[in-house]
Structure 1
Amino acid sequence: MIDIKPVFLCLLLWFLGCTGFVLGQNVPVIENTDTEPIVYCSDSVYVARNISLQNIQIDAADKGMKVSIVNYERDEDKLGYEPVASLNYNWNNSKGTLEISGTATDEQYQEAISKVYYYNESGTRSVGFREFAISLLDADYLPHTKHFYQFISDRGIRWTEAKTAAENRTYYGLQGYLATILYGVENDFIYSKIDGVGWIGANDAKTQGEWIWATGPEAGTQFWQGTSGGTTIGGNYANWNTGEPNNLRKSWGDYENYAHMVVAPGSKAKSWNDLSDEGDRNDPDGYYYPQGYVVEFGGLENLELQLSATAYIEVRESKRPELDYTKIQTLFCGTMSATVDLIFLDSNPLVELTPLDADATVDDGLTLKPTISVPDYGKYYFQLNTIDQASCPYSDTVMFEFHNQPEAIFDLDSNECYGYNLQLSYIGEIVEETEFTWYYNDAEFDSGIGLDSITLPLGFENIDRSVALKVNEQGCIDTSSPQEVKVKPNIIVSVENPEGCSPITAEFTATTNKPAETYLWDFNDGNTTTDQSPIHTFLNPDDVRKTFDISLTVIDLNGCENTAVYDTLVKVYPVPAAGFDFYPEEVLITNPQVNFTNTSHAASLYFWDFGDSTFTDEKDPIHRYSAMGIYNVSLEVGNNFDCTDTIVKQLSIAFDKLNPPTVFSPNAPNTEDQEFRLYAEGVLNEGYNLMIFNRWGEVVFESNSQENGWDGKMGNGKFAPSGVYTWVLEYNDFRGELHKQKGNVTLLF
């Protein structure tokens, strides 16, 4: 146990609290108990599975720990992780560092570090040992020196200022100083891990050309003599850029007496050069303007803190042996024992094959030709252990299958004629889940697990037909040869005028896919015919729709018979019967109202045309005519099937009699009262005769046209005397019926 003086321990604990770590009375400890290198062959391996963390409780979100690959090979080495809740992960590909941050306990961080794993992405990996440093996030640890390093970004800082600032920094009780680089591995680590672009602890300010480490445990140690053509002193390490150091004098008078790391394009990788104390102060955007400084911790105190741990992985040139499944038989049909050829791709490893199923056995399991035996059909798993030429062990699981060998047979009678639908069933034996694939005319028709029966529609075409079957029981396959199918003649029936109001005459046409020898039609009304394309009339005397199922039986030239039945192919609708009566039978214009009585049968719709441009859809209408005449009254009736019937009857609105005036006066003020004229609508001029008699029976006026009336004058042109006169009229009405009327009229003046 490290003996820490009380005063120093107090300062140390105060400092740790300021860095985001909460400590009890013990110093943090990071320890990896695995000291032996872990072998990496091809599968990822954990870096520090047995890492131990004590007294590390991080209470700041930006604090944490990291795992760094010290001798990192970019584009090869990678670190992965199995995440722990509440922690954040960041893989820095340029540095080869996995950073883990977040507030958590040491137990959580211990779990997180233990789940970090290494893998190599290169197909041509760099073999050898990889060194890993596990440390806190705020500094980088180099196992080679057992020191910690930080890069402090501070643009424009002088070398002398950086030296003072570095010496004022501590890390868990370790005194800081500008980095002194004694080894190539240290130089590479600083350059790649901590953005170490800035001042390091060397100068020749005391004596030009005498480069010494001016800080840290090596303070005063000379490591270089001269300028760019100089030499190292005492075998010490140096890595000057090409043409450096050159000890140039700057425009403001200072010489280049202080060392820093170079990042200018074209410079020697990871090299140093000399600058003045201010750097290139006239070019703040240039590559030689100070960006910061590198601080190193360790070597000044007799204090070894376990603030980091180291792990090692040996990367071997190894590739997992892979079986060549294009050459290995893993499926065996109809047997429960087989010898297997274990053929590998591009390798010849040592092997061991062992069963994972207690009922399976392996003979000669250490050879490339083991014999496997199983008790039943099924899938069996085996563990295949291999060791390659790099002595890398691998373990894989392989599967071998042993299954029944099925036979593709099904129930097809080669002598039977089949109809449109062909029912087929598998008649072989199977043991396990099986896939059936049915073929029709050399093309796959249907496929499925357990599809051991099927219905095939044979179609209408005039073609040869065949069926076949492939049976796949867990990869064990058998396929039948195509078998011919004899098909019944296919019947196609077309019909013109298949539905309508009774009676309908339908025209039938029959076609078959193969030449037919005989036809037999059944019209389902007691009538049959042997014509190929018959014409038949269907009647429906009922009041409801009537359907007829039509069947046709055809026998082809091969003797295959088929019957097609077309349900309700013909539909015959009932037709209503129109009828009506009217009252009175003789209608006079003086009372022209007619009552119609509907006597139609099986009708639900009515349309009346009264012959005078008036219509109605009433069932039993009453109609009043406005004029005499002969009218054709029609009644059209219909039903819900749009079937109709019409009846037409004639009725007359007859003339009754004339109603003549009883008095007139030639000198009356109204013109119509100045003559005696007998006329009316419906009276014809043909056969018209009007005679006026005086009281002695003498004819005083006669007219043969109803247009000519008596104006009161006699034949001599003089007015007849006032008095009562008798008139007699004969005329024909518009129907040609003769009428006779007589009466008296009084002539006044």
Structure 2
Amino acid sequence: MKIKNITKIFVLFLLLIGPSTKAQTSNVAPILTATGNQIYCPGTSMKIVTNMTIVDPDDLGVTAIYIQISSGYVSGEDILTLTGSHPTINSSWDSNTGKLTLIGLFSQPTYAELEAAIEDVEYFSNATNPSGVRTFSISIGQANYLPSNGHYYQYIPNIGITWSDARVAATTNFYYGIQGYLATITAADEAQIAGEQSEGAGWIGGSDEQQEGVWRWMTGPEAGTAFAFTFWNTGEPNSSGDEDYTHITAPGVGIPGSWNDISNTGATSGFYQPKGYIVEYGGMPGDPIIQISTSTTITIPSIISTTAAEICNPGVVTLGATANVPVINWYTSATGGTPIATGTTFTTPFLNSTTTYFADASPIGCTSNIRTAVTASVNTTPILTTDTNVSICENTGTTLNASTSSGVINWYSSLTSITPLVTGTSFTTPALTQNTTYYIEGNNNGCLSIGRIAINVQVISKPIVVDENLSLCENETLTLNAGINNVSYLWSTSETTNTITIASPGIYSVLVTDLTPQGCSSTKTFTVTQNDLPVIDDVLINGTTATIIVSTSGDYEYSIDGVSFQTSNVFTVSDGGIYNAIVRGKNNCGFDFKEFAVITIPNFFTPNGDGFNDNWTIKGLIYYPKAKVSIFNRYGKLIKQLNAIDNNWDGTLNNQLLPSDDYWFTFKKDENTPEIKGHFSLKR
């Protein structure tokens, strides 16, 4: 029950209870108690308390009460307003600090008048969709009160004061017996109320003077503790030069309420000139317990998360939702109507189809609330249709098709495989060489078809063919045979018979197709080269070596006796004489021949009358009528001349036997060939 002063006594000379430069000991601080943590209906105004009590044993009133949105404040959207009739009290709203001041109009109001006024203070948000929690601190004294930690924050203006002096000066300030210190910021709501919602920008208690780049709190209960808060600051500190001390940035510089590092003295003017310092009260050992502040909260209800649910085929499902308030209401429509259930879960009635319900955390009757849709999905079991037996030719692929009554189709390589090959109504296989089975399964949002369906792909062998390399004799024909029966034929010459006759070389092919419904085909290729009829151009004689030269190209065999043939065109002839050079094509592709003569010059002779080697004879010389041979002794004297008619020497000169010795000769076959020189031995 709130305590009201029966007699309203206005004490005009009572000063505002607040901070001083010395500990207060003579006056008993009042005790403030507020109730009324509530849930807000967006678009409406709401009293911030349901009951307010101020108990003070030695005072009947106070000059002013300060009500501040100490956490969650959104400047430009949140507003506090004094409503009702309060003739002794004037109200003043500061949108920069989020603070409403209730102050005596002509004299000091009584606690009873202040209690009534506080109970008529209303909160309103002009945001379309406000969110979060607003905490309202109600305090005697101008210092900002933060309910989350029970500390007070006060801005002391002092243009040009250094950080060092501010650190000392802060300790000389007391707030209802609590000694102050340069503020230390350890949480986001503290940064907002001490920085952004402060009445001015000034020094706070951080420094990296001990170690460059390592920022520590140098004051208060956090003294010596390192800090770095990304939620509070961006881009600072830059740790340049002697900028070793923390200062709340001036309005319009950087993030509102953030801090910057500047030197101990700061600038002499402008944004970076120190304008004062921020004192924090509370948290130090031995601080007195005071209750000059109290707080309430208004929570703007919102659904934090929802849990949809699915079932296969008609049935019942349970939906879920969480909110930042205790009560969640469930509706069947996005607007209007009455709740069908209350709680963090809702079990639907029997559903035959997918149905959407709506969760709302706002008080019943709040027309501006936004409901959150939560869907109960009723999925049917897929029914699959497909051809379970498919035949294809080997080394080819095919596209398998299937349809489903609902959902999607997953294709698998086995009954138990987890990862599908593809998802869709079709699947193109790779080229297959053996019978293969694939499996399909329907999935409609988690509802699976009854068992996987096997699709058997039968692989039919193609006709077996073997390519051929063939030779065609010049001026003759050749028959090409597909080499397989009971199939259809399509030649590259457009003929459709088993065999064709060709008369020219080239590459020919035939597509043979079996008579099965699949019509599997294979292609046989014939590479036909032509063997030209051989034509002997010449026979080159080099000593005892004869080389047959042909002017045509082909696969030929060679002979000089008509009996023995070889693939080489080079022969060794031991005896001079007339020979026939014969060239014939393999596979009986024609022939040609040419007569040639071979001359052999002996290395010695033995004219001793025994009937062996009695004459030095150049064999084959008789076939060269223009040939001329001259014989000389070692001194160059002409001994004998030979020709095609007189083609041997008996070792005499003028019927006289010449001695055993080496003799020399020159040989010239005709006027167009070079002269050959050599020597031989006469042995007796």
The structure whose RCO (Cα within 8 Å, separation 6+) is larger is 2
- Greater C-alpha radius of gyration: 1
* Short-chain TM bin: 0.3 to 0.5
Q: TM-score, normalised by structure 1?
A: 0.37
Q: TM-score, normalised by structure 2?
A: 0.40
